Amino acid sequence: MSVRIPVNLASEPFRGDRPLVVVSAACSVLLALLLGTLSYLIIAERSRAADARVAVERLSADVRNMATQQAKLDGVLRQPDNASVLERSVLLNTLVDRKSVSWTRIFADLEKVLPPNVRVIQVRLPQIDARNQVLLDMVIGAQGPGPVIEFLRNLQASPRFGPATVHNSTSPTDNEPLYRYRVSVNYAQKL
């Protein structure tokens, strides 16, 4: 009976590490390239952010200067000696704003969205708010509520008009055979 004892005469046994070393080296090179790319992008973004901060600071300084100048001018205009000039200028600007609303354009745009069985009975003088938006207040009439609903949908779908608000309605009477609706809507006319 012979016993076989495995004997390894090499000082280090053979291991198949070469593919693992090659893959590790390739991954190391790839990670080094990725690190270089990310470092470059971070440095570039830092310089862009610095440029943006400088531009924002410059614009903020300009805004502060303009606000200071505006405050000085408002202070001059609010003096008692200049109050009449300020009131007159506000009145004239209001008149110019009202005259800048084109009735022809309003009726042309209303004609595009008005169904044939709806009548415009009354259009009040357009109001202009602080944001230069024109508010139309009008009374419309129709044989029934269906055409009015169609008119309101057309107003909302039009790029010239905004959402409409119905304030009140009246039923037909002996003297007036139409349903009447008071409607207000924003009108997007360039002033």
Tell me the C-alpha distance between 128 and 35, whole Å: 59
Question: Do both 65 and 126 map to the same domain?
Answer: no
pTM of the model: 0.51
Residue 91 lies in a domain: no
Q: Is 83 inside a domain boundary?
A: no
In a domain, 43, yes or no: yes
**C-alpha span between 117 and 54 (Å, rounded):** 61
pLDDT by residue (tens digit) across 62-116? 999 999 999 998 888 778 887 777 788 878 877 777 677 777 888 888 888 888 8
Confidence band for 191, pLDDT divided at 50, 70 and 90: very low
Domain span at residue 114 reads 102-187
145-159: pLDDT as tens digits = 888 888 888 888 888
pLDDT score, position 19 = 86
Question: Is the same domain home to 179 and 112?
Answer: yes
Q: Are residues 150 and 110 in the same domain?
A: yes
Residue 62 sits in the same domain as residue 128: no
Boundary (domain end) residue, out of 78, 94, 128: 78
Instruction: Give percent of the chain with pLDDT exceeding 70.
Output: 91
Q: What is the pLDDT of residue 28?
A: 96
Residue with tokens 């595009």: 112
CB proximity list for 104: less than 8 A, separation 6 or greater:
none
The answer to whether position 150 is within a domain reads yes
Number of structural domains the chain divides into: 2
117 with 71, same domain? no
- Among candidate residues 189, 109, 105, the one with its CA nearest the CA of residue 151: 109
Residue 174 falls within a domain, yes or no?
yes
Summarize pLDDT for 38-74 with one digit per residue, the tens: 999 999 999 999 999 999 999 999 999 999 999 998 8
CATH of the domain at 125: 3.30.70.2830
- Which 3 state secondary structure label does DSSP give 103? helix
- Quick one: pLDDT at residue 134? 80
The answer to the question of residue 8 being in a domain is no
Is residue 124 one of the residues assigned to a domain?
A: yes
